[in-house]
Copies of this chain bind each other. A is one copy, B any other.
Amino acid sequence: MSKTSALQTEIQQSKPFRSLGQELVVGLLRTADLVRRAVDRTLAPYGVTPQQYNVLRILRGAGEAGLPTLEIGGRMLEQAPGITRLLDRLEAKGWVRRERCPQDRRQVLCWLTPPGRSLVEKLDDPVDDADREAVAMLSAADQERLLHLLEAVRAGHR
Contacts and interface: CB of A to CB of B under 8 A. Distances in A.
A1 to B, nearest CB: 14
B154 A13 contact: no
B131 A22 contact: yes
Interface in A1-35: 6-7, 10-15, 18-25, 27-35
Interface stretch (A85-93, A95-103, A109-117, A141-149): A141-149
A137 interface: yes
Number of copies of this protein chain within its complex: 2
B20 A140 contact: yes
For the complex, would chain A's binding face be called helix, strand, loop or mixed by DSSP majority? helix
Nearest to A157: B34
A135 B25 contact: yes
Interface string A94-137: 00000000000000000000000000000010011001111111
Contact of A75 (B12, B31, B38): B12
A134 B155 CA distance: 11
Nearest to A71: B12
A31 B10 CA distance: 22
